[in-house]
């Protein structure tokens, strides 16, 4: 198990924890798609 200060966004655990935040999740998907998202599209 990695110490918390060694975790990055691409680490499975950290990615899962970050994606629990709807605002962060929405922004990550928006940036990847390069266009706006409506919240109901992902939740």
DSSP string, 1-43: ---GGG--TTSHHHHHHHTTSHHHHHHHHHHHHTS---GGGT-
pLDDT tens digit string along 5-24? 787 767 888 788 878 888 88
- At residue 39, the pLDDT reads 60
pLDDT tens digit string along 24-37? 887 877 787 777 66
Separation of alpha carbons 43 and 38, rounded Å: 9
Indicate left, alpha or beta for 38 from its phi (over 0: left) and psi (-120 to 50: alpha): beta
């Amino acid at each position: 198990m990695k110490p918390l200060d060694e975790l990055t966004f691409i680490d499975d655990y950290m990615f899962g924890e970050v994606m629990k935040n709807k605002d962060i999740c929405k922004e990550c998907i928006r940036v990847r798609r390069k266009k706006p998202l409506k919240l109901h599209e992902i939740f």
